[in-house]
């Protein structure tokens, strides 16, 4: 058996393989409610052989949405709407995961489907954004700096979202601390200019994330808790790999089980050279620090490439996004490419189509 199609256990939760679906925003919800689009979109990846399927960034409060069309988990109606979706993922053999998120200063933005960029005004359904500091993302409205009491409320929002997610049937909970959203904004000195206990030193900038990891672990003791990091801001004076590995270690001590490593998104002047597997070295650096199992992502498009990354020891798991959109049966194809029978991946309804050579 290939490494890609070997199982992995994280906090007692077994994924049937190591080719997973990364969170991908769909901008298709109303009032935070997932719908038939999300159901079919996510369930098809499980039918296609994914080991874990993780939902899009799902806001823990209304103002945490990236756009007015993002999904949420801040009320019980949303919990109930997620329940059949999580069940559909599980019934097709995959582990159901949800990404708990808050967009901070990058919230209240136009969906890319509109062709517009920037902050949605209140008159058109937008809202006042919040952040660690009143420092705007390029082209967006200036956010309001969070007060201490509001930070405490945010921790409670993540815990409540975690409890609802577990009640909905999710067993993987990923805390979104990447791509320039709120927790990444606290981590990076480029966006966090606070002078209180949440700003300045690395310990202070990491304080909110670590409190949230503890709160989510407390609210969901049996779930696997992931953290998604952007391992670099790719900008001078910003967040970097060394800080990522340090904070990942602290998060592991507080109950995080797995680290999903991406990059960028904090500032518009970032400089990132893309290409096949371009973010894998970031995952490798975090994994080498021994903080726990790590996932690699970024232009990973076929079975042999994914297998080579695992065999090199650079990552424990492969996450992909766009390749799953191009081919919702990516895992079935990758197994064929590797000459791995992986018969258990094929839904019985599809076995007649399985290549014989």
Tell me whether residue 181 is one of the annotated catalytic residues. yes
Determine the number of helices (DSSP H) and then strands (DSSP E) in the chain. Answer: 11, 12
How many angstroms separate the CA atoms of 169 and 97, rounded? Answer: 9
Say which residue the tokens 């990091």 belong to: 229
Q: Tell me the CB-side half-sphere exposure of residue 252, using CA atoms within 13 A.
A: 19
Q: How many CB atoms lie within 10 A of CB 26?
A: 18
**Interstrand relation of 8-10 and 13-15 (parallel, antiparallel or unpaired):** antiparallel
Q: Is the backbone of residue 198 left (phi > 0), alpha (psi -120 to 50) or beta?
A: alpha
Contact 266, 235 (CB under 8 A): yes
**Interstrand relation of 19-21 and 258-262 (parallel, antiparallel or unpaired):** unpaired
How many angstroms separate the CA atoms of 239 and 261, rounded? Answer: 13
How many angstroms separate the CA atoms of 329 and 301, rounded? Answer: 12
Nearest of 102, 104, 113, 39 to residue 69 by alpha carbon: 113
Nearest of 351, 282, 355, 336 to residue 4 by alpha carbon: 336
Selecting among 181, 198, 278, 350, the annotated active-site residue is 181
User: How many residues does the structure list for the chain?
Assistant: 357
Contact 205, 188 (CB under 8 A): yes
Q: Which long-range contacts (CB under 8 A, 24 or more apart) does 204-211 make?
A: 206/247, 206/250, 208/151, 208/154, 208/155, 208/183, 209/175, 209/177, 209/183, 209/247, 209/251, 210/247, 210/250, 210/251, 210/254, 211/155
Q: Which residues are catalytic?
A: 181
């Amino acid at each position: 058996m290939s490494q890609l199609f070997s199982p992995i256990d994280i906090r007692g939760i077994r994924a049937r393989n190591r080719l997973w679906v990364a969170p991908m925003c769909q901008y298709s919800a109303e009032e935070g409610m997932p719908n038939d689009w999300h159901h079919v979109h996510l369930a098809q990846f499980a039918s296609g052989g994914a080991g874990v399927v993780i939902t899009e960034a799902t806001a823990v409060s209304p103002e945490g949405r990236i756009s007015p069309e993002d999904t949420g988990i801040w009320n019980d109606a949303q919990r109930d709407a997620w329940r059949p979706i999580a069940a559909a993922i599980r019934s097709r053999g995959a582990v159901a995961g949800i990404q708990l998120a808050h967009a901070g200063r990058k919230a209240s933005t136009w969906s890319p489907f509109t062709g517009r960029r920037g902050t949605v005004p209140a008159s058109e359904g937008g809202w006042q954004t919040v952040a660690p500091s009143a420092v705007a993302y390029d082209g967006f409205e200036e956010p309001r700096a969070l007060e201490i009491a509001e930070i405490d409320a945010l921790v409670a929002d993540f815990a409540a979202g975690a409890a609802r997610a577990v009640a909905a049937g999710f067993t993987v909970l990923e805390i979104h601390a990447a791509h320039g959203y709120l927790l990444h904004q606290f981590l990076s000195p480029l966006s966090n200019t606070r002078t209180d206990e949440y700003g300045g030193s690395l310990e202070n900038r990491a304080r909110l994330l670590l409190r949230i990891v503890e709160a989510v672990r407390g609210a969901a003791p049996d779930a696997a808790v992931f953290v998604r990091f952007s391992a670099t801001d790719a900008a001078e004076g910003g967040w970097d790999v060394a800080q990522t590995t340090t904070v990942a270690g602290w998060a592991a001590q507080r109950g995080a089980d797995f680290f999903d490593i991406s990059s960028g998104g904090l500032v518009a002047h970032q400089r990132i050279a893309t290409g096949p597997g371009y973010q894998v070295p970031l995952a490798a650096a975090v994994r080498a620090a021994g903080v726990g199992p790590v996932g690699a992502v970024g232009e990973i498009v076929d079975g042999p490439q994914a297998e080579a990354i695992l065999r090199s020891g650079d990552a424990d798991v492969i996450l992909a996004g766009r390749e799953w959109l191009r081919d919702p049966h990516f895992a079935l194809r990758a197994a064929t490419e590797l000459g791995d029978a992986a018969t258990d991946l094929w839904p019985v309804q599809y076995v007649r189509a399985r290549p014989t050579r």
